[in-house]
């Protein structure tokens, strides 16, 4: 008997028909002789709608209450799915994150898992139930508060449960057939990737490919757990995210697999850019600035410091961060303007980030040239640049991002044969 963890995203449980369809799939998996744990997201765009409602009643809703509100979305889907499974002759029990033993720290909106104690889930399975767990939520033992793990965090709930229960496989069901060489909603000719190393998937997720939550990939890598990303609307084989590149070779059984140079192109529209203008060019100022940002719990992405303007002894520092964290970070910086001694702050949220990812970049010269040439031919101006060993990222104007993604995708011959099917979801 295998233990399978299946996670169904919002588009898979968007309405009653979707929930019944998922229930059929779950019951079928169980009847085939498996133990099944299901993690569910909120129905359709419920989480966004709840956030919209919150901002209608309050300018800056308290983080604790936002978490109370958002966790309700997943509780609706878990109970409805349990009912649908019962209706189809199965037995299921649903659990909130805290009931399922998801213990997190106390940071609302981006809590980290610190322990998983799924004994109630285990007991439910032992009694022959399907166990259904509400995604992206947990509880802090310190504060005794309910927390959420950040947008898209249900993927991480699934992987954490799979690791804690020693599952045989973790399946992430979504609205496309797997991980593609680019977001199929932007590049309709993108190609499905059959197997990808977690190293490359980490860079894709960190660069905005929201098909998988970044922390779910980190978690799976740490526990050596393969993830199968696939569609709940078809029976097609999806994409295997493999914890080590060696597995890639193993799975292909003797076929000498040369890694492709480039795995894909990712984009991100969710960041804003802060420029701190006129920072005194003396030791310690960058540390002061990023200390303030860390205090506001912001996750910085790209950082650029310009050479100081001759004779002024001052420089500008720009960095990107999630747009939702922009207001808090700016408030914190403004409060420290006199002590840091900078001149002013500029905030720009009309930016987009594009990244090219591939493990083969390490050993193939000329990738950067081809990348920048593609952007230049498409008339895209570049604002910031950053690189890792296996990634090049640039910031551009938001309205040119789609053009830039398509140009780079084509320049690296990533296009597939057919148009990708997007089965559901609104892409919100």
Annotated binding site for ATP: 7-10, 174-175, 180, 185
- Residue ranges of alpha helices (H) inside 223-348 are 245-251, 285-295, 326-335, 337-340
Instruction: Return the half-sphere exposure (C-beta side, CA atoms, 13 A cut-off) of residue 261.
Output: 15
Indicate which single residue of 35, 37, 109, 136 sits in contact with ligand ASP (rule: CB under 6 A): 136
Task: Give the SS3 label for residue 315.
Answer: strand
CB of 11 to Mg ion, least distance (A): 9
Q: Which residues bind ligand ADP (CB under 6 A)?
A: 9-11, 41, 152, 174-176, 179-180, 182-185, 209-211, 264, 422, 425, 427
Cα–Cα separations (whole angstroms), residue 321 to 154, 265, 272, 307, 329: 22, 20, 6, 22, 9
Dist. CA 47–CA 70, nearest whole Å: 6
Site size for ligand ASP (CB under 6 A): 12
- Counting beta carbons within 10 angstroms of the beta carbon of residue 282, is it exposed (0 to 12), middle (13 to 18) or buried (19 or more)? exposed
Residue 183 contact partner, candidates Mg ion, ligand ADP, ligand ASP, none, CB within 5 to 8 A by sort of partner: ligand ADP
* Number of Cβ atoms within 10 Å of the Cβ of 229: 25
CB of 329 to Mg ion, least distance (A): 25
End-to-end Cα distance, the chain: 38
Nearest residue to 23 (alpha-carbon basis) of 1, 41, 2, 38: 38
Pick the closer one to Mg ion by CB: 139 or 209.
209
Pick the closer one to ligand ADP by CB: 29 or 129.
29
CB of 152 to Mg ion, least distance (A): 4
Under rule CB under 5 A, residue 152 binds Mg ion: yes
Region from 2-10, 139-147, 189-197, 266-274 binding Mg ion, contact rule CB under 5 A: 2-10
Residue 42 contact partner, candidates ligand ADP, ligand ASP, Mg ion, none, CB within 5 to 8 A by sort of partner: ligand ASP
Pick the closer one to ligand ASP by CB: 136 or 319.
136
Q: Which x/- pattern, by CB under 6 A, does the window 47-66 give for ligand ASP?
A: x-------------------
Name the token pair of 333: 């910086």
**Residue 119, phi then psi, degrees to nearest 5:** -65, -30
Task: Give the SS3 label for residue 200.
Answer: helix
Residue 151 contact partner, candidates ligand ADP, ligand ASP, Mg ion, none, CB within 5 to 8 A by sort of partner: ligand ASP
Asked whether the beta carbons of 240 and 226 are under 8 A apart, the reply is: yes
Pick the closer one to ligand ASP by CB: 153 or 272.
153
Under rule CB under 6 A, residue 10 binds ligand ASP: yes
Dist. CA 383–CA 398, nearest whole Å: 11
Under rule CB under 6 A, residue 153 binds ligand ASP: yes
Positions in the binding site for ligand ASP (CB under 6 A) = 9-10, 41-42, 47, 73, 135-136, 151-154
Positions in the binding site for Mg ion (CB under 5 A) = 9, 152
């Amino acid at each position: 008997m295998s233990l399978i963890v299946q996670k169904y995203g919002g588009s898979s449980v968007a309405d009653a028909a979707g929930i019944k369809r998922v229930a059929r799939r779950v019951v079928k998996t169980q009847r085939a002789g498996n133990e099944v744990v299901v993690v569910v997201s909120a129905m359709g765009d419920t989480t966004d709608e709840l956030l919209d409602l919150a901002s209608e009643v309050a300018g800056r809703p308290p983080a604790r209450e936002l978490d109370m509100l958002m966790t309700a979305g997943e509780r609706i889907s878990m109970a409805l799915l349990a009912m649908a499974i019962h209706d189809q002759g199965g037995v299921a029990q649903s659990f909130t994150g805290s009931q399922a033993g998801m213990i997190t720290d106390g940071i609302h909106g981006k809590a980290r898992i610190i322990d998983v104690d799924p004994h109630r889930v285990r007991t439910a399975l032992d009694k022959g139930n399907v166990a259904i767990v509400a995604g992206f939520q947990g509880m802090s033992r310190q504060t005794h508060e309910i927390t959420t793990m950040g947008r898209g965090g249900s993927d991480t709930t699934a992987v954490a449960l799979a690791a804690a229960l020693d599952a045989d496989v973790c399946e992430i069901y979504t609205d496309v057939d797997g991980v593609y060489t680019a977001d199929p909603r932007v590049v309709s000719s993108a190609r499905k990737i059959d197997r990808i190393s977690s190293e490359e998937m980490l860079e894709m997720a960190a660069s905005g490919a929201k098909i998988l939550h970044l922390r779910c990939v980190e978690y799976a890598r740490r526990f050596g757990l393969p993830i199968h990303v696939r569609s709940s609307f078809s029976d097609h084989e999806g994409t295997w995210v493999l914890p080590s590149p060696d597995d890639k070779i193993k799975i292909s059984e003797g076929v000498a697999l040369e890694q492709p140079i480039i795995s894909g192109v990712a984009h991100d529209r969710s960041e804003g850019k802060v420029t701190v203008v006129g920072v005194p060019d003396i030791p310690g100022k960058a540390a002061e600035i990023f200390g303030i940002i860390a205090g506001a719990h912001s996750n910085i992405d790209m950082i650029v410091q310009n050479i100081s303007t001759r004779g002024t002894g001052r420089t500008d520092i720009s960095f990107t961060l999630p747009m939702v964290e922009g207001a808090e970070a700016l408030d914190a910086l403004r409060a420290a303007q006199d002590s840091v001694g900078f001149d002013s702050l500029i905030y720009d949220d009309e930016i987009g980030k594009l990244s090219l990812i591939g493990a083969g970049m390490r050993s193939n010269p000329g990738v950067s040239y081809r990348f920048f040439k593609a952007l230049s031919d498409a008339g895209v101006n570049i604002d910031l640049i950053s690189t890792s060993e296996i990634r090049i990222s640039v910031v551009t104007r938001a309205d040119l991002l789609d053009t830039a993604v398509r140009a780079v995708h084509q320049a690296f011959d990533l296009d597939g044969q057919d148009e990708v099917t997007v089965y559901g979801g609104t892409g919100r």
